[in-house]
Amino acid sequence: MAKTQKFTAFTLVASLIVAIGGLLFGYNTSSISGAILFLAKDFNLSTIAQEMIVSIILIGALIGACFGGILTDRVGRKATLILTTVVFLIGTFLVMTANHIAMLVIGRIILGLAIGIVSLSVPLYIAEMSDPRHRGALVSLNQLAITIGILLAYVVDYFYAPTGDWRSMFGIALIPTILLFIGLFFIPETPSFLASQGKKEKALKILKKIEIDTSKSEVALSTKISTKKMASWKKLFEKSVRPALFAGIGISVFQQITGINIVIYYAPRIFQLAGLESAASAILATMGVGTINLFMTFVALWLIDMVGRKPLLIVGILGMVASLGVLGIGFLESTKATSIISIVSLMTYVSFFAISLGPVAWLIISEIYPMGIRGRAMGIAIFANWTCNYIVSLTFLTLVDFLGKSGTFWLYAAIGLLALWFVIKKIPETKGKELKEIQDYFKKKAAKK
Ligand code: BGC
């Protein structure tokens, strides 16, 4: 028992290096919120063109998630990460030097592709390098890095806003990208990927290095020595995998359709709607959102392997639903008191997301799929995540027109109740379990049907 409980400095450093990918995800999706104001002026952009430049990155990401799944299963987790870093470098270079709108659009699609791939390969890599007792916190370093990236983008945008220097707003991303690129050469391939390729000896060596008890791990228990480059696609849709596939897609969809990115992408606008009239105070309040998001993710990291994934999900989603309900009430009238209610409930909403659907959705999908098809199965769930992100961001302003501000937030609250039902019914507790045990749980579930 004691042996499986360890996690080494080596694992932590490898996880921290890879988590820079999460930071790039957060930064590159959020830096546009400040930059767009100045891009609009410099390129004389219509509202539609602005919306396209903002949202096209999500299209890139949903395509990237599919590619990422195939790549990680085929060439490996590490090689995929290295390749993606190069894609990040190309995308960043294009957007920071853009002198034409087409260059900007292409650069943002390329950045989106890279974001889609890291959103998959980072949690996947860390999950396969962790011991069961610390896997929750280690994989959630990814979410922590995403929130750091988001906050960093808000701060950098704020810093460059007086000069309108959008090239630097994008360009700062080069620093973490280069750091990630260098760091990746110092980390190994994951034992699970090596084992899935029949390289069991090598895999066991790495497990030994990170001091994981091999006896119960999926690596030791994998009896089939594969000679193929990649497990068959058929396996992905076998009956035994279906309940896990469904659970992963569901949790990913609910992470998005409960409305988080309305707040992350439109925060200044919502604050203005709530009565903070000056742009400066709205931007400052937005930084408050970023800070609280980061801080509460730390709390999640601390709790996730102690109280488990499900209690966090249940409490968090309940809190999100309650906050959205109150937010809707706050928007019914516009007085000083209701504006304070709205701002506070927006903050509590983000806090509850940060201890639940934020980190836990990424964690669950990295834990529930069988070794040889893990990348592709995650790819399907993450494709669903980015697709819903796109739909929610695109429909928010239209929904406000149709349902009103209060009605829109109440709609997200109702969806939150559905999410709660789904979590209670379909998501098992994975705290402290070996990946193999979790797979067996889903297999048994499928067999019962
Ligand atoms: C979500 C993103 C969101 C971020 C906010 C992530 O887990 O996938 O869509 O913007 O959390 O912290």
DSSP 98: -
Q: Could you identify the atom of ligand 1 that is nearest to the CA of residue 293?
A: 12
For a mutational test of ligand 1's pocket, the pick from 33, 154, 252, 261, i.e. the residue with the most ligand atoms closer than 8 A to its C-beta, is 261
CA-nearest residue, atom 6 of ligand 1: 358
Contact residues for 41 (Cβ-Cβ < 8 A; gap 6+)? 164
Q: Could you identify the atom of ligand 1 that is nearest to the CA of residue 30?
A: 10
Rounded distance from Cα 152 to ligand 1 centre (Å): 14
> Which positions of the chain have pLDDT values less than 50?
1-4
Q: How far apart are CA 426 and CA 423, in angstroms?
A: 5
Specify the fold of 9-447.
Growth Hormone; Chain: A; (1.20.1250)
Q: Could you identify the atom of ligand 1 that is nearest to the CA of residue 354?
A: 12
List, in sequence order, every beta strand (DSSP E) within 133-291: none
Predicted confidence at residue 224, as pLDDT, reads 59
Predicted confidence at residue 1, as pLDDT, reads 39
CA-nearest residue, atom 12 of ligand 1: 147
Query: Nearest-CA neighbor of 442 among 283, 263, 279, 241?
Result: 241
Return the sign of the alpha-carbon dihedral for residues 179, 180, 181, 184: positive
CA-nearest residue, atom 10 of ligand 1: 261
CB 185 within 8 A of CB 78: no
Protein residues with CB under 6 Å of any ligand 1 atom: 143, 146-147, 150, 255, 260-261, 264, 293, 358, 389
CA-nearest residue, atom 11 of ligand 1: 358
Residue 47, judged by CB atoms within 10 A of its CB (0-12, 13-18, 19+), counts as exposed
Q: How far apart are CA 97 and CA 94, in angstroms?
A: 5
Cα 331 to chain centroid, rounded: 29
Predicted confidence at residue 200, as pLDDT, reads 87
For a mutational test of ligand 1's pocket, the pick from 55, 255, 317, 347, i.e. the residue with the most ligand atoms closer than 8 A to its C-beta, is 255
pTM, full prediction: 0.95
Q: How far apart are CA 264 and CA 397, in angstroms?
A: 14
Per-residue model confidence as pLDDT tens digits over 328-343: 999 898 888 888 998 9
Q: Could you identify the atom of ligand 1 that is nearest to the CA of residue 297?
A: 12
Predicted confidence at residue 226, as pLDDT, reads 62
Query: Nearest-CA neighbor of 142 among 229, 2, 262, 16?
Result: 16
CB 292 within 8 A of CB 354: yes
Q: How far apart are CA 371 and CA 353, in angstroms?
A: 29
Predicted confidence at residue 56, as pLDDT, reads 95
